[in-house]
Structure 1
Amino acid sequence: MARPDKAAAVTELKEEFQSSQGAVLTEYRGLTVAQLGELRNSLGQNARFRVVKNTLGKIAAKEADLDEKVLDLFEGPSAVAFVRGDVVEAAKGLRDFAKANSPLVIKGGVIDGKAMTPDEIVKLADLESREVLLAKMAGALKAKQGQAAATFQALPTKLARLAQALHEKKSDEA
């Protein structure tokens, strides 16, 4: 029978997997405790970086119905960044920290239920933040509205000019 402390740890991990928008698995071999603290700070408020025992992580991931590919990532010293919020921001934090500290290796993860490779997570980190993307979309929509308004405003003016030209042409012919 499973020990109560391990069963509680599995239940806690399962809840973390289910309540998070994403989870990025990393290998932290070679990082000091100070570097791990620095990494936790760099992830911000919406991510929790946690060292996980592989067997407990696999069991929790399986109970959370995660993709089989994610289960295979629990090899070697594993830590998981559980993301509750902007996944792009957390991916950027992990990518930047991994660039500065080569012992941190992004192994893969799961975002919104989809298994992701390390390359996909790095591509996700290259995206702009949610706020920037929303601002760009709002700007594009506003520009399109301005173009539509200018078009609608130009139509009566062109129609009036055409009527004036026709009137002048009739006057000249008479």
Structure 2
Amino acid sequence: MDRGEKKQCVASLADVFKTTSVVVVARYSGLNVAQMQALRKQMRAAGAQVQVAKNRLVKIAVQGTEATSISELMRGPTLIAYSNDPVAAPKVAVAFAKDNDKLVILGGVMGTTALNIDAIRSLATLPSLDELRAKLIGLIQAPATKLAQLTTAPATKLARVFAAYGGKDAA
């Protein structure tokens, strides 16, 4: 990797640290190519990304950003997983680490807050932004649906009474 490529890599990593909401750092020593591809595929499906970069370049890229706390985690073969959704990357990383013991989550950062392993696991248990939006829309729509049911209920009951009287006369 020549100097120009390194500058480009540092610039792209700095952009990642400035724009994403959560970054997870994990050690991937011992994962084979198929397992790494499976991890990348799962991350992509969740709206997150995985990147393996040189630790030295990551340490340079985090300088001047809110993610400076992860520079101490960058030792050995590490990868970074990041997403704009605060729960997407931690959720996939924790689920993948349960299945593959060779992926070890070291920590991460969310905004200016440094995350330890327990914080990342608790983030992974939270519902995603899409799930929260769906619940919120359901809560907003529920009163309108119940109101519509209440307005049609008296007419329905009245129709049943008329039908019962009509059936009584025919008998």
5+ unaligned residues in a row in structure 2: which ranges? 148-171
Q: Tell me: CA distance 1:136–1:114, structure 2 relative to 1, closer, same or farther (3 Å).
A: same
Q: 1:140: Cα distance to partner? A: 4.0
Q: What is the total number of aligned residue pairs between the two structures? A: 146
5+ unaligned residues in a row in structure 1: which ranges? 150-174
State the identity as a percent: 36
Q: 1:141: Cα distance to partner? A: 4.8
What letter matches 2:72 in structure 1? D
Matches within 5 A, 1:1-174: 3-45=3-45, 46-63=47-64, 65-84=65-84, 86-141=85-140
State the secondary structure of the residue aligned to 1:82.
Answer: strand
**TM-score of the two chains, using structure 1 as the length reference:** 0.73
Q: Residues of 1 paired with 2:12 and 2:89: CA distance?
A: 21
Q: Residues of 1 paired with 2:96 and 2:52: CA distance?
A: 16
What letter matches 1:56 in structure 2? L
The answer (yes or no) to whether the contact 1:44–1:90 under 8 Å persists in 2 is no
Larger mean CA deviation between 73-82 and 110-119 belongs to 110-119
Q: Residues of 2 paired with 1:57 and 1:5: CA distance?
A: 14
The answer (yes or no) to whether the contact 2:26–2:106 under 8 Å persists in 1 is yes
**TM-score of the two chains, using structure 2 as the length reference:** 0.74
Radius of gyration: which is bigger?
A: 1
Q: 1:128: Cα distance to partner? A: 1.6
Q: Residues of 2 paired with 1:132 and 1:3: CA distance?
A: 44
